[in-house]
Structures are given as C-alpha cells and as structure tokens.
Amino acid sequence: MDKTREEYKKKVKENKKELSVVITQILRNKKILAQTKERARKKTLCLTADIEAEGEAVNAILLNYPAADALTGYSPIMWATLNILDNFTTIPVPSSS
C-alpha cells in the first residue's frame, strides 16, 4: 500500500508540474492573441482613415465585425450551409397544395 501511495504521489506531482507548464503557455498565448487583435484593430482604423482621406466613404459596419471571429471555427459543411443560405434572396416556404 505504501509503495502504491508513494508512486501515485509522485505521478500527481509530475502531473501538476506538466499542468503548470501548459497553463503558462495558455496564458502567454492568450496575451499574444490579445495583442494581435489590438494591432489588427489599430490597422483597420488607420486604413479606414486613409480611405476616408482619399474621399471614399467607409461603411461603419465594416469597422465592427465581431461575428467574423466567431465564424472561423466552422466546419466545411457549416460553411457550405452558410453559403447556400447567403445565395437565397428569400427563404422558400413549402406550399400547402
């Protein structure tokens, strides 16, 4: 019993060490992701200012597109479904003949 307990105490200690490494990596990657999103936002604003300076109007909707981030994880089947939906001008309603 003591041998088993010591063995699993050692395994738990090793797992905690591995977990701390993974958590550190996750936190670092989240920080980098936040920095890249902020750079992208600043670049968008800069490009918008340049376009407007040239006399072209920029649609305000283009400046705020949080839904675009949400769509990046869709499967190919979901993208195909969304593409089909985009091609419909009206939603077909089955007739009750």
Q: How far apart are CA 78 and CA 62, in angstroms?
A: 23
More confident call, 85 vs 46: 46
Q: Helical H runs in the chain? A: 2-53, 60-63, 66-71, 76-87
Residues 3-57 have pLDDT tens digits of 899 999 999 999 999 988 899 899 999 999 999 999 998 998 888 888 777 766 6
Confidence at residue 48, expressed as pLDDT on a 0 to 100 scale: 80
pTM value is 0.47
The yes-or-no verdict on residue 73 having pLDDT over 70 is no
Q: How far lies 70's CA from each of 2, 16, 48, 73, 96, in Å?
A: 51, 32, 23, 7, 37
Domain ranges of the chain: 2-64
